[in-house]
Amino acid sequence: MRRTPIHGMLMAGAKHPQPTDSKPSTSRKCFSAGLTRTIMSDNFICIIPRDPWFIPDRRAQIQARRLFQQFAPQAYQITTSVTDAPIFVDAGVNFESVACPRCHQELDTWWHTIMDRTAPQQVPDLTIVTPCCGATLSLNGLRYEWPCGFARFTLEAQNPDIVMLSVSQMRELEGLLDCKLRQILVHI
């Protein structure tokens, strides 16, 4: 079974993410001095458009995947996936909190309740009204401590052997995909 950082529920009747470029899943092994051990966790760099509804054209997706492979040549695999509606892309165990960007009030309990309630329903958009200051915002616009977001398109590197992409690398990907991007560092 392929492990993915897309742990959140599906929104607006979305289907499960369909990888558009991937290797078959296998358990990963480390070889050191003739000893073998199974890696018990994975790290991902997941790149998503800041606009949760945006899907780059197929050619741009392929070019971005190839460029990402140059940035992270040691990655176990690099994949792209597209869903019918935005899904929540979280930081795995890196996820710490969520807050209102207007008044900075933590919204953890409220947010979990909203996410649990909206998961099984058709949601026409990601618009919410915060309980703290009554601001009308997008779930995608909340302040997530470690970055998270909603997206229909994802580009991800599994166990990339780099900490994160640089600002200039992100700009190159933005140019190829023709959109502003968010980088999510995932640990599962």
Query: What's the confidence (pLDDT) of residue 40?
Result: 76
- Enumerate residues 6+ apart whose C-beta is below 8 A from 49: 55, 56, 151, 153, 177, 179, 180, 181, 182
Task: Report strand pairing: 181-187 vs 77-89.
Answer: unpaired
What are the residue ranges of helices labelled H in the chain? 58-71, 108-118, 167-177
- Token pair recorded at residue 130: 């915060």
> Is the pTM of the predicted complex or chain greater than 0.85?
no
pLDDT, one tens digit per residue, over 161-180 is: 999 999 999 999 999 999 99
Q: Which residues of the chain have pLDDT under 70?
A: 1-39, 119-124
- Token pair recorded at residue 56: 């780059």
- Enumerate residues 6+ apart whose C-beta is below 8 A from 182: 47, 48, 49, 50, 147, 149
- Token pair recorded at residue 69: 């492979």
What radius of gyration do the chain's Cα atoms show? 17
Query: What's the confidence (pLDDT) of residue 120?
Result: 60
- Token pair recorded at residue 150: 């909603």
The answer to whether 115 and 9 are in contact (CB under 8 A) is: yes
Query: What's the confidence (pLDDT) of residue 98?
Result: 97
Partners of 182 in beta bridges: 48
The answer to whether 135 and 129 are in contact (CB under 8 A) is: yes
The domain segmentation of the chain, as residue ranges, is 18-24+41-187
Query: What's the confidence (pLDDT) of residue 170?
Result: 98
CA atoms within 13 A on the CB side of 151: 29
The answer to whether 156 and 96 are in contact (CB under 8 A) is: no
Task: Report strand pairing: 97-99 vs 143-145.
Answer: antiparallel
Query: What's the confidence (pLDDT) of residue 124?
Result: 60
